[in-house]
């Protein structure tokens, strides 16, 4: 018995050590990426000047006198992500509510299968479908010379974030204790009122997590938006061809060198900082909401 207990204790300690190692490994990866981006991105910012780099409105990296202003890219990424969230999150949340509270087993299975298929479609396929279907429709609908613009990119991004928003929101809604719903119904509330006034507010931390995942997917997408946004370094307009932060890196990295290459790493650093700020803000909102409760 003593030998068996020692063996069990040894296995338990080994498993705890393995789990701890895996946990800190994730932290190590984040730190490695952070250090790499800072080391690679800071030199270009220091050479160009942080004001000229972040607030410059002209990107001409291959000109005789190159200029590296990324303000058009920043605004385009912000507007594109915001537009995708405004369109995609309500649709995704309604779909999650349907799957979690309103649907039957058969219909839920069909919809969930479709959502899983959406999450498995490669980005290049979204971009290809956008080029073939969305871009011509936008051109005809708004009588434009070219349908490859910010609006087309927003539509594609809104579709691309749906799987993340739906899956995480559905899980959060299902995690709300049944007692909340039963108490609301017992007080005379309708099912719809219960869902939107009790269940959804109770699941807000999980829904905010879904929104963050959607933002991360939208702001980090490159291939699909490169194919439908026109990839031109303009200040953003809804029906203008534009270039995102991600597409700036993806379109020029293959032939870049010197300061141009360093500037592309600086763009990646800016993207990384954006994601960090978004996560910090959402965590603050969630913790503040939990403390108020």
Q: How many CB atoms within 10 Å of residue 154? A: 26
Global pTM value: 0.86
Residue of higher predicted confidence among 291 and 192? 192
Q: Where are the domains of the chain?
A: 2-46, 73-292
Count CA atoms within 13 Å of residue 108 on its CB side: 13
Confidence category of residue 9, pLDDT binned at 50, 70, 90: confident
Say what percent of the chain tops pLDDT 70: 95
* Mean pLDDT for the stretch of residues 80-92: 92
Of 281, 264, 278, 213, residue with least CA distance to 73? 264
- Give residue 85's Cα distance to chain centre: 9
180 in Cβ contact with 199 (< 8 Å): yes
Q: Give pLDDT, residue 204.
A: 85
Please write the tens of the pLDDT for every residue from 245-293. Answer: 889 888 888 787 888 889 999 999 998 888 888 778 777 766 665 665 5
Of 220, 255, 239, residue with least CA distance to 123? 220
* Mean pLDDT for the stretch of residues 211-219: 85
Element (H, E) at 46: helix 2-48
152 in Cβ contact with 250 (< 8 Å): no
166 in Cβ contact with 115 (< 8 Å): yes
157 in Cβ contact with 214 (< 8 Å): no
Alpha carbons 30 and 25: distance in angstroms, whole number: 9
Q: Give pLDDT, residue 258.
A: 84
* Mean pLDDT for the stretch of residues 222-232: 88
* CATH code assigned to 73-292: 1.10.3720.10
Confidence category of residue 242, pLDDT binned at 50, 70, 90: very high
Mean pLDDT of the chain: 87
Output DSSP code: residue 234: P
């Amino acid at each position: 018995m003593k030998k068996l207990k020692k063996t069990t204790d040894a296995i338990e300690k080994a498993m705890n050590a393995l789990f701890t190692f895996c946990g800190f490994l994730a932290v190590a990866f984040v730190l490695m990426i952070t250090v790499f981006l800072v080391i690679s991105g800071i030199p270009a910012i220091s050479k160009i000047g942080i004001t000229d780099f972040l607030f410059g409105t002209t990107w001409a990296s291959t000109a005789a006198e190159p200029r590296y202003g990324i303000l058009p890219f920043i605004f385009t990424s912000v507007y594109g992500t915001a537009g995708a969230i405004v369109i995609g999150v309500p649709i995704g949340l309604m779909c999650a509510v349907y799957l979690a509270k309103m649907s039957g087993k058969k219909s839920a299975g069909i919809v969930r299968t479709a959502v899983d298929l959406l999450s498995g479609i490669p980005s290049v396929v979204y971009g290809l479908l956008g080029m073939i279907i969305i871009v011509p429709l936008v051109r005809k609908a708004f009588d434009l010379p070219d349908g490859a613009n910010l609006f087309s990119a927003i539509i594609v991004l809104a579709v691309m974030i749906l799987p993340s928003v739906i899956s995480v929101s559905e899980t959060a809604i299902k995690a709300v204790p049944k007692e909340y719903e039963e108490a609301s119904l017992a007080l005379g509330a309708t099912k719809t009122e219960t869902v939107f006034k009790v269940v959804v507010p109770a699941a807000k931390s999980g829904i905010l997590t879904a929104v963050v995942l959607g933002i991360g997917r939208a702001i980090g997408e490159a291939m699909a938006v490169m194919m439908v946004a026109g990839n031109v370094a303009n200040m953003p307009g809804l029906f203008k061809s534009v270039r995102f932060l991600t597409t700036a890196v993806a379109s020029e990295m293959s032939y870049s060198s010197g300061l141009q290459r360093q500037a592309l790493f600086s763009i990646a650093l800016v993207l990384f900082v954006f994601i960090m700020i978004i996560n910090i803000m959402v965590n603050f909102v969630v913790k503040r909401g939990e403390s108020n409760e």
